[in-house]
Homo-oligomer: A and B are copies of this chain.
Amino acid sequence: MKENQINNSFLENLINNNRRTVARSISIVESDNSSSSELLKNVYAKVGNAYRIGITGPPGAGKSTITNQLTKYFRKQNKKVGIIAVDPTSPFTGGALLGDRIRMSEVGQDAGVFIRSMATRGSLGGLSKKANDAADILDAAGYDYIILETVGVGQSELDIVEAADTTIVVLVPESGDAVQAMKAGLMEIADFFVVNKSDRPGSQQAISALKTILMMKDHDINSWMPSIISSVASENKGISEIADEIERHRNYLISTKKFLERREHRTKIRIKEIVEDKIRDLLWNESGKNSLNSSLEKVVLGNLSPYHIAEEIIDNFKNQF
C-alpha cells in the first residue's frame, strides 16, 4: 500500500468501519513504516472513545474463551468489540498459532466484532507499540470495547495489557498458580482476577491463596482493591460478573479522575516507544549495520570489548547530526 493511498476516502472508510479498510489499516500499522505514522497521525482525532480491556495470564488459563464469551455478552448489549490477540510465534509454522482463535470463529462471523491476531516474531520491543497502534485503529473505527489479549508472561507482553483501562489477570485453580503469577509480575498489573475453570479441585484454596497475597499488599482504604471472580468460561459461568466488574472499575476510574491519569500515562509510554523505535531505525540503518559488522571483527580478532565498540558506534551516530 502506497502512502498516497491514505487519502480522505480511505480515512472515511476507516471511520465508517469498512472491514476491508480496517484490516488494511491494521496491516499498515503492523508493517510500521512511514505510512503507519501518517495514518495514525490522521486518525488520532477520532481515537479515545473505546474502552480498552487487557486480558492476560499464564498459558492455558482460558483467556481466549473468556474473550469469546465476554464478546458475546457485549454484543447482546449492542456494543461493537475489537479484539487484538497477541500470540507468540511458532518458529515451526512460520506464523502465529491460531488454535485458540479457531474457537472464536463463532463471534468472528459477526460484523460487530473485529478480531486480529498479531504474532510476536522479531518484534523485540516494538510489539506493545504495534498492538496499541492497532487498538487505535479499532478505536477510530468506532469499536466500543477493545480487548487486548496476551499470554502474560514476559515484560513485552505485560506492556501490552498495561496500556488498557482495565486489566484482568486470568488464573486457574492449579496449586501454586497464584504464586507463579506473582513471580511473573502479574499481581502488579491486575485490576481484578478471574479464577477460571473454578469447577476444578483446589479452586477455593487458590482463591484463598490469592486473597492472602493481596492482603499482604499495602493499600489505603480509598484505593482500588482488586477483587477475585470465579468463572467456568467454557460454560459461560461468571461472564456477567466479569462484565459487571469491568463496569465497576470503569466507574471507579472516572469518579477518581484516575481514568485520565491512566490515559496520560499510557500516552507517555507510547511517545517513548515511538521515539525509541524511530531512534533504533536511525541507529541500525545501512551505515549503522555496516559499522557494527566491521567493528565486530575487531572484537573477534583483538581484545577490544563490546563497550569500546559501542562507544565508537555512538560517536559515529552523533556525528551524523
Seen from chain A, the residues whose Cβ lies within 8 Å of a Cβ on chain B are: 37, 40-41, 44-45, 58-60, 87-92, 97, 99, 120, 124-125, 127, 151, 153-159, 176, 179-180, 182-185, 187-188, 213, 216-217, 260, 264, 267-268, 270-272, 274-276, 278-280, 283-284, 292-293, 295-296, 299-300, 303-310, 313-314, 317-321
Instruction: Please tell me if the beta carbons of A184 and B307 are within 8 angstroms of each other in the complex.
Output: no
Instruction: Please tell me if the beta carbons of B305 and A92 are within 8 angstroms of each other in the complex.
Output: no
Instruction: Please tell me if the beta carbons of B182 and A306 are within 8 angstroms of each other in the complex.
Output: no
Q: A295-B271, A296-B268 are in contact. Are A37 and B307 (CB under 8 A)?
A: yes
A275→B97 CA distance, assembly (Å): 33
Q: A307-B37, A310-B275, A313-B275 are in contact. Are A187 and B296 (CB under 8 A)?
A: no
Query: Which of B44, B271, B279, B305 touches A44 (beta carbons < 8 Å)?
Result: B305
Q: A91-B188, A260-B300 are in contact. Are A276 and B267 (CB under 8 A)?
A: no
A44→B300 CA distance, assembly (Å): 12
A45→B182 CA distance, assembly (Å): 40
A184→B153 CA distance, assembly (Å): 9
**Which residues on the B side are within 8 Å of A180 (C-beta)?**
59-60
Instruction: Please tell me if the beta carbons of B300 and A183 are within 8 angstroms of each other in the complex.
Output: no
A124→B158 CA distance, assembly (Å): 11
Q: A92-B216, A97-B183, A154-B155 are in contact. Are A271 and B283 (CB under 8 A)?
A: no
Instruction: Please tell me if the beta carbons of A90 and B321 are within 8 angstroms of each other in the complex.
Output: no
**Which residues on the B side are within 8 Å of A314 (C-beta)?**
275, 278-279
A125→B159 CA distance, assembly (Å): 12
**Which residues on the B side are within 8 Å of A127 (C-beta)?**
155
The CB with the most chain B CB atoms within 10 A, among A91, A184, A317, is that of A184
Minimum C-beta distance from A279 to chain B (A)? 6
A276→B317 CA distance, assembly (Å): 11
**Which residues on the B side are within 8 Å of A321 (C-beta)?**
318-321
Minimum C-beta distance from A133 to chain B (A)? 10
Q: A268-B296, A280-B276 are in contact. Are A44 and B185 (CB under 8 A)?
A: no
Query: Which of B97, B185, B267, B296 touches A182 (beta carbons < 8 Å)?
Result: B97
**Which residues on the B side are within 8 Å of A187 (C-beta)?**
90-92
Instruction: Please tell me if the beta carbons of A41 and B154 are within 8 angstroms of each other in the complex.
Output: no
Would you give 27 A-B contacts (Cβ < 8 Å), ordered by A? A40-B307, A41-B305, A44-B303, A59-B183, A59-B184, A89-B185, A91-B217, A97-B183, A151-B153, A151-B183, A153-B184, A154-B157, A155-B156, A260-B300, A264-B296, A267-B306, A268-B292, A268-B293, A268-B296, A271-B299, A271-B306, A271-B310, A272-B292, A274-B306, A275-B314, A279-B279, A279-B283
